[in-house]
Chains A and B, each alone.
Chain A
Amino acid sequence: MSETPRIELLLVEDNPQDLELALRALRKANLANHVHVSRDGAEALEFLFGDAAAAGRRLEDGPKLIMLDLKLPKVDGLEVLRRIKDDPRTKRIPVVMMTSSKEQSDLVKSYDLGVNSYIVKPVNFDGFAAAVQQLGLYWLLLNEPPRSDPP
């Protein structure tokens, strides 16, 4: 059984078109190799907490970046964010909200829960693609995360 390479980016997106466009933008920037996609909040939490345990993976060795849509079926984006930031083993993973909502209350709640970035998806694809690519480059390549030492 070959070792699965570490997932670098968890993309949580329920809209298939947005998902395809996001993956297209990531591909263009050569950032799509180690991407895991969850289609709702429950799946995302399952991937982060459930599967990791099943696969014997340490939670600390989670993805290097999570791109999270705000409005998701089952468990919404804010709840997913709260769970990630509440758990000491996952709280250091950078989370970027990718959403269509400019509502102040959403922004405030997200920042209060410890979100690392909040991006309003532009309607314009060029803008959208640029945003996705810049985020990927910044958080995956430029940003230096703290080391997660084994216990």
Chain B
Amino acid sequence: MKASIKEVDDLKAALDEHAIVAVTDPQGRITFVNDKFCAISKYARAELLGQDHRLINSGHHPPEFIRELWTTIAHGRVWRGEIKNRAKDGSFYWVDTTIVPFLDPNGKPRQYVAIRTDITARKQAEEKLNASNKEVLDLKTALDEHAIVAITDAHGKITFVNDKFCAISKYAREELLGQDHRLINSGFHPKEFIRELWTTIREGRVWRGEIKNRAKDGSLYWVDTTIVPFLDANGKPRQYVAIRTDITARKEAEEKLNASTKEVMDLKAALDEHAIVAITDAHGKITFVNDKFCAISKYAREELLGQDHRIINSGHHPKEFIRELWATIRQGRVWHGQLRNRAKDGSFYWVDTTIVPFLGENGKPRQYVAIRADITERKRIEMEIKELNAELEHRVVERTAQLEAANEQLESFSYSVSHDLRAPLRAVDGFSQAVLEDFGPQLPDEGRRQLQTIRSAAQQMGVLIDDLLTFSRLSRQSLAARRVDFNAMVRGVLQELGAPWADRRVEVRCADLPPALGDPALLKQVWLNLLSNALKYSGKRSPAVIEIGVADKAGRPAYFVRDNGTGFDMRYAGKLFGVFQRLHRPEEFEGTGVGLAIVQRIVQRHGGQVWADAAVDRGATFHFTLKSEPPT
């Protein structure tokens, strides 16, 4: 018994050494505390004994926790748990607590022994770990929200992708996991680029760069990429975390900008090659000239920069012209015109000039870009043409005057012919008649017949003179150009020629004729001559058949007059339209041989053609065309 008591005492001593021990009565009042309890609670033993355990309550645990504790021990069962207490100085400490109830013979707890171990350090570490874990989780969530994340193992196999990675690559997660990153390789980057990436991360260094990838549907996307290698205990990468940002829009904009910048540069180069370019500031000082400007102006670039454009002013243009130019471009409008400039050596050159003002933020021109093309040669040719034209004009005036003089002479000639040749004829005829009247009875029959012959010859000559005058007048007369109704005209002409004829049988067949454009009086003469010929040469037919119609000659109407008369031998057709040319003897058919010559002259003056078809005793057909059809 003694030995066992000793053992108990030893155990108690060891416990005292190791644990925080307290004993309370069934009411919860503290009846015993060991030194460690005092040390950790920072209370003196006297302050604790007789007190409730609430003295060291930290308020950390909810009431249910405390209630559950009391219920357990009040029923005589051991309670185990971790409790946060408050020391006298307000600091907190955690204790791993075991409360053992000791029962009386009635089975009711008579006292509680609480044995505690200080676990403050562990709890604090736990709390810290929890907090940092939470932080990491938050960061991961935020990263997931924001970035395209993938993790690959040391061999480059994909072990994790987030939703954004799936969204941009258009692959399902299960299509990606276990795959190589080559799945999304666009082939855009050179091999060296990819090799450099792997070298970097295999050495455990972070890689940053922009990568162009290909999505499942073949579309391309750009990602700003950071790959972080995580190392194992041996310092070898065990996995790689790749964090990416979609920069496709930016890259596309960059690409476009690059392209358009390139285009602008190309245009500028082309312009420089082609045109004379100068830039002046708002005050008219030259700030840029290209080589062509220097070449044409014969000034060195340094002689021009900082100068006014007046340096190349030729003084050719009036002040108003220059003022108008400046007024235009100062208002921000483009000026276009031709300028004559003077080169350094005093020679002149012409430039076709466009000046474009570029406006500053205040809306006022900040600089002017002038683009010029050398038109000196063109101007020279223009001048030559002008001179030639003037010369030509002069010559035309001279020729016209000569022509007018010649025409006047011709007119006075035909006037004389008309007036002076007819007077003697009238005398021949008149005095023959006078002889017949005054001395007729004294003359033999033969004498009277001869006088009659003299008279008819004189009259015949009168007709010839009239025809000749008509013909010559045709050449100088100016043409009217009016719409002519040929149907009405032909009807009128036939009436003039005596239709319907009482003394002979004539059958006229007239088709509907399209209208024409020309001189009505002259065209009437054409119909008159052709129809009177047709009537004349069909005089021996009964019935005479006169056909009037229109045929097609290369798309133009060819009007015709056909008769069933005596016709003529086509071998002589060449003579038909000559002046005073006749294919018949006067005894057969009277006439002067001018009618068809007149027809031809009129038709030719209307830009048309006339031709004939005939056979001896089988009638003749005369066709004519005119230049153009009348406007409908």
Contacts and interface: CB of A to CB of B under 8 A. Distances in A.
Interface of A: 15, 17-18, 21, 24, 70-71, 99-103, 121-126, 128-129
B469 interface: yes
Interface in B367-415: 415
A21 B415 contact: no
Given A101-B419, A123-B459, A125-B433, 19 more contacts: A17-B424, A18-B427, A21-B427, A24-B434, A100-B423, A101-B415, A101-B418, A102-B418, A102-B466, A103-B415, A121-B426, A123-B425, A123-B426, A123-B429, A124-B426, A125-B426, A125-B432, A128-B430, A129-B430
B462 interface: yes
B418 A123 contact: no
Given A124-B459, A126-B433, A17 B426 contact: yes
B545 interface: no
A17 B418 contact: no
Given A124-B429, A124-B459, A18 B418 contact: no
A88 B611 CA distance: 58
Contact of B419 (A17, A24, A71, A124): A71
A17 B425 CA distance: 10
30 contacts: A17-B423, A18-B426, A21-B426, A21-B427, A21-B434, A24-B430, A24-B434, A71-B419, A99-B419, A100-B418, A100-B423, A100-B426, A101-B418, A102-B466, A102-B469, A103-B418, A121-B426, A122-B426, A122-B462, A123-B459, A123-B462, A124-B462, A125-B426, A125-B432, A125-B433, A125-B434, A125-B455, A128-B426, A128-B430, A129-B430
A103 B429 CA distance: 23
B415 to A, nearest CB: 6
B180 to A, nearest CB: 109
B462 A18 contact: no
B523 interface: no
Contacts of A24: 430, 434
Nearest to B433: A125
Contacts of B430: 17, 21, 24, 125, 128-129
A126 B452 CA distance: 13
Nearest to B434: A24
Contacts of B423: 15, 17-18, 100
Contacts of A71: 415, 419
A32 to B, nearest CB: 15
A17 B418 CA distance: 17
Interface string B415-449: 10011101111110111111000000000000000
Interface in B556-604: none
Nearest to B424: A17
Contacts, number: 64
A71 to B, nearest CB: 5
B434 A100 contact: no
A74 B425 CA distance: 24
Contacts of B19: none
Contacts of B462: 122-124
Contacts of A21: 426-427, 430-431, 434
B458 interface: yes
Interface in B64-121: none
Nearest to A126: B433
A103 B425 CA distance: 19
Given A24-B434, A103-B415, A121 B422 contact: yes
Interface residues of B, number: 24
B417 to A, nearest CB: 10
Contacts of A126: 433
A128 B423 CA distance: 11
Contacts of B469: 102
Contacts of B420: 100
Contacts of B466: 102
Contacts of A70: 419
B434 A17 contact: no
Contacts of A100: 418-420, 422-423, 426
A122 B434 CA distance: 16
B421 to A, nearest CB: 8
Question: Which 4 pairs show the lowest CB-CB distances between chains A and B?
Answer: A123-B462, A17-B427, A125-B430, A21-B430
A123 B469 CA distance: 15
A67 to B, nearest CB: 15
Contacts of A125: 426, 429-430, 432-434, 455
> Which of B426, B431, B461 has the most chain A CB atoms inside 10 A of its CB?
B426
Contacts of A102: 418, 466, 469
A101 to B, nearest CB: 6
A18 B422 CA distance: 10
Contacts of B418: 100-103
A124 to B, nearest CB: 5
B458 A123 contact: yes
Interface in B489-516: none
Contacts of A103: 415, 418
A124 B422 CA distance: 10
B453 to A, nearest CB: 15
B409 to A, nearest CB: 15
A22 B433 CA distance: 13
Contacts of A128: 426, 430
Contacts of A101: 415, 418-419
B8 to A, nearest CB: 170
A17 B458 CA distance: 15
A108 to B, nearest CB: 14
A102 B418 CA distance: 8
Contacts of B461: 123
A125 B590 CA distance: 21
A70 to B, nearest CB: 8
A128 B461 CA distance: 16
Nearest to B470: A102
A15 to B, nearest CB: 5
Contacts of A123: 422, 425-426, 429, 458-459, 461-462, 465
A126 B419 CA distance: 19
A15 B425 CA distance: 12
A21 B419 CA distance: 16
A102 B472 CA distance: 13
A122 to B, nearest CB: 8
A29 to B, nearest CB: 14
Contacts of A121: 422, 426
A129 B419 CA distance: 18
A7 to B, nearest CB: 25
Interface string B290-327: 00000000000000000000000000000000000000
A134 B375 CA distance: 79
A135 B83 CA distance: 163
